[in-house]
Chains A and B, each alone.
Chain A
Amino acid sequence: MARVVVDVMLKPEILDPQGQAVQRALPRLGFEGIADVRQGKRFELDVEGPVDDAALARIHEMAETFLANTVIEDFVVKVES
């Protein structure tokens, strides 16, 4: 079964307090030198049947209408071999 990954990230101009909270915690834990952290979501889709252009188009539509809110988020669809 083929795997397709959809990565969803807040758009760069949208404040990400979760990422900031993680970034602020890093020096306290001894991890220095990280200037910024942004937190996103990763969806792993195990696709039945072939991942052809039609299947990818459907996944793209799914990401655009449901998995991501394109008012605030960007997304990337990748096929994992």
Chain B
Amino acid sequence: MTARIGVVTFPGTLDDRDALRAVRLAGAEPVSLWHRDKDLKQVDAVVLPGGFSYGDYLRAGAISRFSPVMGTVIEQAKAGMPVLGICNGFQVLTESHLLPGAMLRNNHLHFICRDQKLRVENAETAWTADYTDGQEIHIPLKNIDGRYVADERTLDELEAEGRVVFRYRDFNPNGSLRDIAGITNAAGNVVGLMPHPEHAVEPLVGTGRTDGLGFFTSILKKLVNV
């Protein structure tokens, strides 16, 4: 039996269909989860996709953090279940304190949409094992609240523990401190990043590359080998 990977839809989520598709293309079984579900339908891992959950009306990701589904996701993530937060999902993870720091409005105040070069800094997390340390990948980026901030002590700790998973290369699109595009928790099961790997899983669309597929094959391999 293959791994079941849940994708949560909040009101305002945009990229759930792409995430479900990416899961299926990687060979796992995609499972739709609704923000009101407390029950995770026996999934082995969860993706929190991009969009503007609850309109980002208070702060990006702040209201979703208190949805019924997140109560269970937070509990399970702390117990070791792999969770990937993409864009708004990353914002939900910082608001949930599953990942340190916070996400703020881009330093130039514009919504930005571009193909972004990233450097994979940690290929040992649950979601990055199919990459290699130092590998450069191109995946789409689209956001207005993509500026990662944390205090100096937290940033130093993240660097020292190898928990900066992705860094922007060539161009910092939002003023993120230390060019951080994605981070992981201490256990390596929770990963959040601003750019969108689920939009780069088929050669026909997105960047024209499939650099994002590795996220979904990484987790599938991890879960099947477990």
Contact = CB atoms under 8 A, between A and B. Distances in A.
A21 B109 contact: yes
Interface string A60-77: 000000110101100000
Interface in B94-144: 94-95, 100-102, 104-109
Interface in B31-59: 58-59
Contacts of B58: 66-67
B102 A69 contact: yes
Contact of A72 (B66, B102, B106): B102
Contacts of A66: 58, 62, 66
Contacts of B94: 71
Interface stretch (A10-18, A27-35, A51-59): A10-18
B150 interface: yes
B149 interface: yes
B162 interface: no
Contacts of B109: 17-18, 21
A66 B59 CA distance: 10
Contacts of B100: 71
B175 interface: yes
Interface in B73-97: 94-95
Given A18-B109, A21-B109, A72 B62 contact: no
Given A15-B104, A17-B106, A69-B62, 13 more contacts: A10-B104, A14-B149, A15-B107, A15-B149, A17-B108, A18-B109, A21-B109, A66-B62, A66-B66, A71-B101, A71-B102, A72-B102, A72-B104
Interface of A: 10, 13-15, 17-18, 21, 66-67, 69, 71-72
Interface of B: 58-59, 62, 66, 94-95, 100-102, 104-109, 147, 149-151, 175
Closest 8 CB pairs of A and B: A71-B102, A72-B102, A17-B107, A17-B109, A69-B102, A69-B59, A21-B109, A14-B149
